[in-house]
Amino acid sequence: MAVIVIGVGLIVLAAGITIGIVAVVSWGIRQEERDFSLTRDARGKVSRGTRLVTDLYVRQRSDAPGAAPRPDIYV
């Protein structure tokens, strides 16, 4: 009986970790898309973590000074 309880607990723990990772990555992707920031350095920890998990990177080392924001092209 104890083995079953421990097994179910481990399954619930693994599911929770997986759902948490997917939620944080989804949140980070939404931020990147909203800010059009995939061509610049990541702005925060969530964006950096999302890029790490999804294996995205930016070749330039820092943001271009004085870059004009991209206008909204989607309605």
The ranges assigned to domains in the chain are 2-54
Q: What is the pTM of this model?
A: 0.58
pLDDT number for residue 16:
96
d(CA 59, CA 37): 13
Backbone angles phi, psi at 61, to 5 degrees: -80, -30
pLDDT number for residue 57:
67
4-38 per-position pLDDT tens digit: 999 999 999 999 999 998 998 888 888 888 877 77
